[in-house]
């Protein structure tokens, strides 16, 4: 098994270096999603440590997705704007990270558990506690579902007056998903820090299988060429660069007719924050 360990100040640089290391040094593995003729994936155990996760530049220009999508995914993780799409019996989503973190359903318990609120309460009482964690895995169900959760747990701890967070994932698509995951998780970390009443600290992203699918290799060649051709400054953006598209992402969400009104209120609050920032 190959492993990588990256320590960087900013999120986009940490992600870029981790993806490049995975491609260059990763073990070759077949996957359950391969089609005939697909090359084996590149796969490593990864620990990606970001020391100032809210520092600019915060966005990598070449992450596979749009800035509008980045805001929409943030809203899914923090607000659960698409929790109403969970309907596995109808062939729809089997879960969301928000539902598992904020409304964890345990058989035999009468009420769902808001694990994030529980972590906040623990941290307010004792910031250095080792017990402030939220899990997503459901051992009684997830071993048999089609798309089990990649995110496994989040661990919070206050050190030197700042809130650190460790994220543990069993599996993470290094190229297509990891940047958006890390960006949204840092946003959640910042929200928990605000509720605890301390500044955000460091972020650590730990993955058992950090992989690049063989079916992506042709697309990934474009990423490699971009990294080789541009300076570090030309490969990243400050957070403010995406502001107009973040606003557009909120407007797109608000146009969804099936979104429950309580979720729309959260998106409207976020939209007002973004508009003030502009």
**CATH value at residue 203:** 3.30.572.10
Under 8 Å CB-to-CB from 229, ≥6 apart: which residues? none
CB atoms within 10 A of CB 141: 14
Reduced to 3 states, what is the DSSP secondary structure of residue 73?
helix
**What is the distance between the alpha carbons of residues 135 and 121, in angstroms, rounded to a whole number?**
16
Q: pLDDT per residue over 97-131, tens digit each?
A: 999 999 999 999 999 999 999 999 999 999 999 99
Report if residue 264 sits inside a domain: no
- Look at residue 269 and tell me if it is in a domain: no
Question: What does 177-238 look like in DSSP terms, one character per residue?
Answer: THHHHHHHHHHHHHHHHHHHTS-EEEEEEEEEEEEE-GGGHHHHHHHHHHHHHS-GGGGEE-
Quick one: pLDDT at residue 177? 97
Query: Does 137 have pLDDT greater than 90?
Result: yes
Q: Sign of the CA dihedral 184, 220, 169, 110?
A: positive
CA distance 13 to 52: 11
In a domain, 241, yes or no: no
The owner of tokens 């650590």 is 204
CA dihedral 116, 117, 119, 123 (to 10 degrees): 140
In a domain, residue 206? The reply is yes
CB 47 within 8 A of CB 5: yes
Residue 166: the pLDDT is: 98
Count structural domains, the chain.
1
Alpha carbon distance 96, 102 (integer Å): 10
Residues 204-253 pLDDT 10s:
999 999 999 999 999 999 999 999 999 999 999 999 999 999 999 999 99
Q: Which pLDDT score is estimated for 91? A: 80
Model confidence pLDDT, tens digit, residues 24-52:
999 999 999 999 999 999 999 999 999 99
Report how far residue 123's alpha carbon sits from residue 119's, in angstroms, rounded to the nearest whole number.
Answer: 6
Tell me the average pLDDT of the chain. 96
Residues of the chain with pLDDT > 90, as a percent, come to 94
Structural domain includes residue 32: yes
How many alpha carbons lie under 13 Å from residue 93 in its C-beta half-sphere? Answer: 14
Q: pTM here? A: 0.96
Q: Cite the DSSP H helix spans in the chain.
A: 11-25, 67-79, 97-102, 115-125, 178-196, 217-229, 243-254, 261-277
Q: What is the dihedral of CA 257, 270, 205, 39, to 10 degrees?
A: 40
In a domain, 248, yes or no: no
Q: What is the pLDDT of residue 228?
A: 94
Give residue 58's pLDDT band: very low, low, confident or very high (50, 70, 90): very high
Domain-located, residue 272: no
Residue 271 resides in a domain:
no
For residue 211, the enclosing domain spans 3-66+80-236
Rounded to whole angstroms, the maximal C-alpha distance in the chain is 57
Of 269, 264, 271, 246, the closest CA to residue 84 belongs to 264
Taking a C-beta distance cutoff of 8 angstroms, is the pair 71, 277 a contact? no
For residue 119, give the nearest of 85, 168, 70, 163 by alpha carbon: 163
């Amino acid at each position: 098994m190959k492993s990588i360990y990256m320590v960087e100040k900013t999120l986009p640089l940490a992600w870029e270096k981790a993806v490049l290391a995975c491609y260059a040094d990763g073990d070759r593995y077949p996957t359950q999603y391969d089609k005939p003729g697909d090359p084996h994936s590149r796969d490593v155990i990864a620990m990606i440590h970001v020391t100032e996760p809210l520092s600019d530049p915060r966005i990598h220009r070449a992450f596979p997705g749009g800035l509008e999508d980045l805001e929409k995914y943030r809203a899914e993780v923090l607000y659960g704007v698409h929790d109403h799409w969970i309907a596995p019996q109808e062939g729809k989503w089997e879960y969301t990270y928000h539902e598992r973190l904020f409304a964890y359903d345990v058989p035999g318990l009468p009420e769902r558990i808001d694990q994030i609120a529980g972590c906040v309460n623990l941290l307010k009482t004792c910031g250095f506690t080792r017990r402030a964690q939220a899990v997503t895995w459901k051992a009684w169900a997830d071993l048999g579902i089609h798309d089990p959760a990649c995110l496994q747990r989040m661990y919070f701890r206050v050190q030197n007056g700042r809130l650190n967070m460790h994220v543990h994932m069993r599996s993470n698509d290094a190229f297509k998903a990891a940047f958006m995951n890390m960006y949204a998780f840092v946003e959640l970390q910042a929200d928990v820090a605000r509720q605890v009443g301390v500044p955000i600290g460091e972020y650590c992203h730990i993955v058992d299988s950090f992989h690049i699918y063989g079916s992506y290799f042709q697309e990934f060649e474009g990423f490699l060429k971009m990294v080789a051709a541009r300076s570090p400054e030309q490969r990243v953006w400050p957070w403010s660069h995406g502001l107009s598209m973040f606003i557009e992402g909120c407007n797109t969400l608000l146009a969804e007719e099936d979104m429950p009104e309580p979720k729309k209120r959260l998106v409207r609050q976020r939209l007002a924050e973004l508009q003030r920032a502009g």
